[in-house]
Amino acid sequence: MSEIPKSENSKLNRALPHLAISVSNLTKVYGERAAVSSANFDVPLGTICGFVGPNGAGKTTTIRMLLGLIAPTSGTGTVLGHSINEPEKFLPTVGAMIEGPAFYPALSGAENLRVLASLGGFPQERVMELLELVGLGDRAKSKFKTYSLGMKQRLGIAAALLPNPKLLILDEPTNGLDPSGIQEVRELMKRLASQGTTVFVSSHLLSEIEMIAEYLVMLRNGKVIFSGKTESLLEAQQPIIIAKPEYAVDTPRLVSIAEQSGHSASVVEDEVHVLSPAEWSATFNRLAAEAGITLSQLATVRPSLEETFFELTSESGAK
Amino acid sequence: MLRVIYAEARKLRRPTLALSTTAIVAGLSVLFTSLVYLRINSGHNTRRGEFISAATLSQASGIAYGFKLVSAFLGLVALCIFASQTAQEYTYGTLRNLLVRQPARMKILGGKFVAMGAFAIFMVATTAVITVAASYLLAPGAKVSTSLWGTSAGLSLLGHTFVNVLLSTIGFGLFGMILGLLLRSPISAISIGVIWNLVLENILSAALSGSAKWLPGQNISNIGEGGSIDISYMHSIGMSAAYLLVGFGIVATLFKKRDVAN
C-alpha cells in the first residue's frame, strides 16, 4: 500500500476533545436479551484500540450505536466530543467499515467509491488515490461482483478512508486477506495512528491486535470485562514458569517440588508449567538443583493476549 | 439533499439499468403504437374495449394516443425500478454505508425519490418521443391524417398527456418505493407490486362492481389516461394522493426510526 493522501477536509483542523470515543452505561436490549449491557469505556485520541470479544458479544451492536445506526436503549456516548445522538456532527470525520464490505455488485470499485464520495461531499480525486493506496488501482474499473474477498475487503478499507478520518472504525478488516495483505493493513493502521488518526478495530486475530493495539476493550456477553492499556492487561496476568529437566524421568519430581511450594503445576509435553510470580523461578531452579535435577530450560513467559482472552471470556474466567 | 441526488444518479445511470430500461421503454412504445395502427378499424381494439378508427386518430388528440396507451406499462417499469433501487440497500447491506455518510435519513429518502423521479421523467420523455415518431411513421399507411396533430390543440393535448403519464409513472414508482421500504427485499416488493396491480386489482374490479374507483393501482393508472367514464380524473388524483401520502408517511416513519442492523 502506498502513501496516504493528504487531508483536504478543513473540518479536520478544528479542536478535538481528549477522547475519541467515550461511552457510559451504553445498553441495547432486544426483547428480553441485552445485546450490550451497561458498557463503559474510553478510547483516547490518536491511539489504536482493539475491540475484542467472542462472536455475539455485542461488538457490532456497539459499533452501530456509535455510528448512529442503532438507537441505544439507554446510556450515553460521545464520538469525537459529540453525542452519539447527533451523528451528523461527527460522521463527516469518521470512516467506518462495519461487518464486512457492502457495495453495489453491478458498479465498479471506483464507481462504488464515487457514490460514497458524492454522498459525503468528498473530492472525487480521492477515489483513485485511495484505490491505489489499497492496491486496487488496476482493478478500479472492474465490477465489485468480480472482486475476490480480499479485494472487497480492501475496497471497504478505501471507503472508510474517504473522509480522511480522525476516527477510523474497522470491523474485522483483515477478513479474507492473505498474510501480506494482513501485514499491509497492520502497517496502514500504524501509519494512520502515527498521523493522529484514532483506529478502533475489532478483530478475531488476537495476535494482530496484540501487535498493534495500545488500548483494548474486551466484551463478553454484552458486558465490558476489560478496558484500558493492553500492557496493563497482560502485566496483570499470572506469568508461567516453564522448566524442562535434562532427563524426562525427572518431570514428575519437578511438578511435586512446585506443588510442595504452593504453586499449581502441570506437565505440557516434556515441560513443566508452573503458575507463579516470575521471581520464584530462581528459587525453583535452586530447589531443583538441591533435588539433583538439572534443568535444560527455565523461562518465564507471560500469557499472550489470546490466552488472556480465552481466560477472561470463558465462563469460569470471567467470574 | 443535492449530494444524495448525485449519489443516487450515479447508481441509476449505470449502463445495465439505463440501457435496459431505455430498451424496454422503446420496445413497449413501438409495440403499443404499432398495435393501435395495425388493428385500426378492427372492432373493439383497445384495452378498455373502445373502438378506435382512423377518424378518431385523425383528431388533434391522435398524436398522443399511443403514448397514453403505454402509460400503465411505464408505471409498472417505474414500480420495479423504484422498488429495487430502494430495497437493494437492505439486501446488499449498503444502507449502513449511506447512513454513515449521510445520517439524515429523510434526506436519503428525499434524495432517492428526486433522483428516481428524474429517471422517470427521462423514461416518460423517451416514450413520448418514440410513440409520437412511430405514430407519424405509421399514420399514412393506416390512412390517418396528421394535419391536426401539429396544431396548438394537438400539442396542448400532447403536453397534458405528458403530465398525466408522468404523474401516473411517478405514482407507480412511489408505490414501488413504499413496498421496497416496507418489505426490504427487491424480489418481494416487485412481485407483490406487480401481482397486486396486474392481477388482484383487475380481479377485484371485475368481481366487485364499482370497486375500481377505490383501488390505488386503478386510480394511479387512470391518471395516466387522463380519467375515464367510470372514474373521473380528479377523483383519481385525490385517491392516489391519499393512498400514496399515507403509505409514504408510514414507511418514512419506519425508515427514520428503525435500527439498521443488517
Condensed to tens digits (0 to 9), the pLDDT of residues A231-249 reads 777 777 777 888 899 888 8
**Which 3-state string (H, E, C) describes B182-235?**
HHCCHHHHHHHHHHHHHHHHHHHHHHCCCHHHHCHHHHHHHHHCCCCCCCCHHH
How is chain B classified by DSSP, letter by letter?
A: -HHHHHHHHHHHTSHHHHHHHHHHHHHHHHHHHHHHHHTTTSSB-STT--B--HHHHTSGGGGGHHHHHHHHHHHHHHHHHHHHHHHHHHHSSTHHHHHHH---HHHHHHHHHHHHHHHHHHHHHHHHHHHHHHHHHHTGGGT---TTTTSHHHHHHHHHHHHHHHHHHHHHHHHHHHHHHHH--HHHHHHHHHIIIIIIHHHHHHHSTTGGGG-HHHHHHHHHTT--SSS-HHHHHHHHHHHHHHHHHHHHHHHHHS----
Size of interface A-B (CB pairs under 8 A): 79
Q: How many residues does chain A have?
A: 319
CA A113 – CA A131 distance, rounded (Å): 9
For residues B261 and A156, the model is more confident at A156
Sign of CA dihedral A188, A193, A199, A205: positive
Q: Does the structure show a pLDDT above 80 at A314?
A: no
Residue A82 DSSP code: E
Distance from B148 to chain A by nearest Cα, in Å? 47
List chain A residues with CB under 8 Å of B96: 64, 67, 69, 98-99, 102
CA B250 – CA B182 distance, rounded (Å): 9
Nearest CA among B81, B114, B63, B116 for reference residue B193: B81
Residue type, position A297, single letter: Q
CA B52 – CA B3 distance, rounded (Å): 48
Cell of A257: 517440588
CA A101 – CA A106 distance, rounded (Å): 15
Q: What percent of chain A has pLDDT over 90?
A: 37
pLDDT band of residue A318 (cuts 50, 70, 90) is very low
pLDDT at site A4: 43
Three-class secondary structure of residue A173 per DSSP? coil
pLDDT digits (tens, 9 = 90+) for A162-219: 998 999 999 988 877 788 888 888 888 888 888 888 999 998 777 788 888 889 998 8
CA B35 – CA B58 distance, rounded (Å): 16
CA A58 – CA B173 distance, rounded (Å): 38
A170 part of contact set with chain B, CB < 8 Å = no
pLDDT at site B48: 58
Of B16, B97, B103, the CB nearest to A106: B16
pLDDT digits (tens, 9 = 90+) for A259-283: 998 888 888 888 898 888 888 888 9
Nearest CA among A190, A110, A158, A153 for reference residue A5: A158
Q: Does the structure show a pLDDT above 80 at A310?
A: no
Cβ–Cβ below 8 Å for B3 and A111: no
The alpha-helical segments, DSSP class H, found in chain A are 59-66, 87-90, 109-120, 125-133, 149-161, 179-194, 206-212, 230-236, 251-260, 280-290, 305-313
pLDDT digits (tens, 9 = 90+) for A96-123: 998 888 999 999 999 999 999 999 999 9
Q: Does the structure show a pLDDT above 80 at B46?
A: no
pLDDT digits (tens, 9 = 90+) for B135-168: 999 888 878 888 888 889 889 999 999 999 999 9
Sign of CA dihedral A309, A312, A313, A317: positive
pLDDT band of residue A17 (cuts 50, 70, 90) is low
A39 part of contact set with chain B, CB < 8 Å = no
Of A99, A100, A111, the CB nearest to B10: A111
CA A184 – CA A100 distance, rounded (Å): 17
Q: What percent of chain B has pLDDT over 90?
A: 62
Q: What chain B residue is nearest to A108 in terms of C-alpha separation?
A: B14
Cβ–Cβ below 8 Å for B93 and A102: yes
A119 part of contact set with chain B, CB < 8 Å = yes
pLDDT at site B113: 95
CB A239 within 8 A of CB A300: yes
How high does pLDDT run on average in chain B? 89
Cell of A44: 483516547
pLDDT at site B129: 94
Q: Does the structure show a pLDDT above 90 at B60?
A: no
pLDDT at site A2: 47
Q: Which of A30-34, A61-65, B123-127 has the lowest average pLDDT?
A: A30-34
pLDDT band of residue A10 (cuts 50, 70, 90) is very low
pLDDT band of residue B122 (cuts 50, 70, 90) is very high
Q: Are strands A94-97 and A167-171 parallel, antiparallel or unpaired?
A: parallel
CA B112 – CA B1 distance, rounded (Å): 9
